[in-house]
Amino acid sequence: MRSLVFFWRLGAVFSFPSLPFLHPGLMRQPSDTEEPLEPKGSFNSDCISEPGSAPSVSAVDKGAEALDQLRRAHAAMQQYMTAEMEAYAEDWKLLGNCNEVMEGRCQEVRASAKDAVKELEKTAELMEHSLPQLASIDKIEAQLATLTEAVNRIDEYSKALADRFECT
């Protein structure tokens, strides 16, 4: 903010096309109660003449040099801000592309999850229908064990009868 006030006190109003928030109309004018701000860097108060006095030749040269430095600084700042804005625009494009890819991937995952749920529902239905058949298999297995036991007893009994009557 100090540099903006300094630019204003120099009487130089610059337009920053890439920086709308630095519009000259938005810069505040220093009030009479404020203490004067000393500029930093290579700018000093020697290049500013006092009101009502004629500027010296060295002050004019320094003022012209200061204005030239300000123009170069403005051009460098404009170039920097343009590059930054282009980089931000590229970042946003990349983020947009990433979002589109992620959205597509999420839709694929959602679709495959829905398919998996449908298949699991079908499997659960088939299991429900096969439960009575599985229960009947258990009954048949128990009956088969009983029949096998009965066949073994009959076989033993027939062998005992064959031995008793000596039939071979």
Sign of the torsion formed by the C-alpha atoms of 101, 107, 111 and 114: positive
CA separation for the pair 43, 137 (Å, rounded)? 100
Residue 45: how many other CB atoms lie within 10 Å: 13
User: Mean pLDDT over residues 5-11, rounded?
Assistant: 43
Give the per-residue pLDDT at 164.
86
Average pLDDT, the chain: 78
25-34, 90-99, 105-114, 122-131: segment of lowest average pLDDT: 25-34
Tell me if the pTM is above 0.75.
no
pLDDT tens digit sequence for 91-112: 999 999 999 999 999 999 999 9
More confident residue, 142 or 31: 142
CA separation for the pair 14, 37 (Å, rounded)? 19
Give the three-state DSSP class for 142. Answer: helix
Q: Do 30 and 7 touch, CB atoms closer than 8 A? A: no
